[in-house]
Amino acid sequence: MSATDRDAELVYAITHRGTPPDPPEWWRGAVFYEVYTHSFRDTMGNGLGDIPGVTEKLDYIRDLGVDGLWLTPFYPSPQQDNGYDVSDFCGVHPPFGTVEDVQTLIDRAHALDLKIMFDFVFGHTSDEHPWFAESSASRDNDKADWYVWADPAPDGGPPNNWISSFGGRAWRWVPARAQYCYRPFLDCQPALNLRNQQVMAEMVGNMRFWLDMGLDGFRLDAIQCLSHDRDLRSNPPARASENPSVGGGPNNPFKQQIHLFDRDVPEAIPLLHQIRRVANDYDPPRVLIGELADVDSSRLAPKYTVDTDRLHAVYDFDLINRADTLRDWTQMLALRSSYLTPGSSLNVFTNHDSPRAVSNLMPKACAAGRDRDAAKLLLFLQCTLMGGAIIFQGEELGLTQPDIPEDEIKDPWAKALWPDFQGRDGVRCPLPWVRGEKNCGFSTSDSPWHRVPEEHHDRSVDQQERDPDSVLAFTRRVLRWRRSLPMLRTAAEHILADTPLKVIAFQREKAGQALVCAANFGLEAAKITLPRSSLTPQFSHGDFTLDADHLTLGPLAVIALS
Ligand code: NOJ
């Protein structure tokens, strides 16, 4: 594999950017709601959310106006990485329920006209998976080649310099084999050797187990890690600033390398073809949405979605991790709208791996006590920028990022990099359903896995349902409006240049229809010149005045005009 192969893939992707079919497939430009299983709703009283809890709240999800939901891993797991360390791909971790509960959930979602996707971790397993027990026992067992094994370097150290995304060497020494095992995340998450067709066949069988139950598709975990350099070559060094897409705080050692040989390698593309063939085997075809992290995704995402034999769509972290200035953000949006096929990426402002969006992206508005308006602005953008969207649970309530004291930290990533990196516990706190109830109605347990932060109590669903001006009411309104405008799902996008510093404005266009959208991130009014006059407001929040082709937007106001 050479740098030229990588470039060729990118050139191919950009030059083969397609036009979405009309009418678009259901997933294109769709809006999903991410349910973090652990923290959504506990019906069993064990302090963890569960599958029946999701079923119980499906009406709530449907009423938001989303197209479907994605559920984070609920498979049997030692829970070292909250379920992303899977020890059995075809079961349910007992505290979350049973396989029958899952079938009920799928059926009920469909009855409500919601699509439903599960997480699927293709690249690694838990070290408690029976495959690993066998593979790690000796060098000559039936599964000896099912994981990525390598002899030590001549000095006895790891075979190369690769680093884990969570910090530290990406190799674990296994005495029984006198070899190192590759693990791109935690020690307990060994990477599968997907070049081995027996492994691929087993993994495909595991996918089919859930797809056969009627599941609509998968969110595929960490697709940048599906493969790696065959020759295990060491990565070249980098300055941290060369890795702006990488999370984990400013000093994450993972930022000190160019991830030429351990992330986003060309060898992953044939694997994507294989996985897509499985999804296409079904009628209707099932959908694959990839998580693309650690890499310069705004530039690389097209590779993963070009043509009809890779993934349907991807989401990434660039809009979360690269928000130093609004100008950078706007430039990145412009790049994305010129690279990506409309509807093949999902706008994500936060998820279970990132801080809450308002606190991360709009700290000044939060400091000024305007976090609710800021939350509405971000929801508006998620729903109007080119692409679909994934709304993480609690964003519809405008939840802010809570501080989690060190002794309550559970996230292994935070433990590895503390105090530089506060980790992911804050965003994973339970959803507040009813103010005043025990654990705000999340759980009846005396020891929920995380407590509901004090500052979230007033934001409970029951409180917001009573308030027509709440973030929840806004979410329902903006999603209802979005649904009434199908062009928003696949229209091309043009980011308007020369807007005031604090304003993002763009035009969506499709088949002679055009919609101009603008959002003022500032705490003062801002005036912009519209591309033409005689535009009529279609949707707005906050103050604005319109005078011919001049629009003045009040602080944190948003508007769409056509
Ligand atoms: C991506 C998941 O979103 C994250 O939560 C997890 O820690 C890593 N993959 C490793 O499994």
Distance 269 CA to ligand 1 centre (A): 21
pLDDT of residue 244: 85
Residue nearest to atom 5 of ligand 1 (CA): 353
pLDDT of residue 167: 84
- Cα–Cα distance for residue pair 130/109, rounded to 1 Å: 33
Amino acid at 131: W
Question: Is ligand 1 within 6 A of the CB of residue 147?
Answer: no
pLDDT of residue 11: 85
Pairing of strands 149-150, 179-182: antiparallel
Q: Please write the tens of the pLDDT for every residue from 251-309.
A: 889 999 999 999 999 999 999 999 999 999 999 999 999 999 999 888 889 999 998 99
Q: Starting at the edge strand that comes first in sequence, how are the strands of the sheet with 149-150 ordered?
A: 149-150, 179-182, 171-174
Same fold, 3-123+197-482 and 493-561: no
pLDDT of residue 2: 59
Alpha-carbon torsion (234, 11, 493, 63), positive or negative: negative
Per domain, the residue ranges of the chain are: 3-123+197-482, 493-561
Question: Is ligand 1 within 6 A of the CB of residue 81?
Answer: yes
**CATH architecture of structural domain 493-561:** Sandwich (2.60)
Per DSSP, the three-state class of 216 is coil
Q: Which atom of ligand 1 is nearest to the CA of 186?
A: 10
Residue 56 token pair: 């119980």
Residue nearest to atom 11 of ligand 1 (CA): 84
pTM score of the predicted model: 0.97
Q: Which helix (H) or strand (E) holds 206?
A: helix 197-211
Q: Which of 72, 84, 125 to mutate to test the pocket of ligand 1 (most atoms within 8 A of CB)?
A: 84
- Is 221 a catalytic site residue? yes
Which residue shows structure tokens 């674990």?
172
Cβ contacts of 550 within 8 Å, gap of 6 or more: 527, 528, 529, 530
Distance 377 CA to ligand 1 centre (A): 28
**Superfamily of the domain at 3-123+197-482:** Glycosidases (3.20.20.80)
438 neighbors 37 (Cβ within 8 angstroms): no
Q: How many CA atoms lie less than 13 Å away from 558 in the CB half-sphere?
A: 22
Rg of the chain (C-alpha set): 23
- Is 291 a catalytic site residue? yes
Cis peptide before 419 (omega within 30 of 0): yes
Question: Is ligand 1 within 6 A of the CB of residue 222?
Answer: yes
State which residues of the chain have pLDDT below 70. Answer: 1-3
pLDDT of residue 3: 59
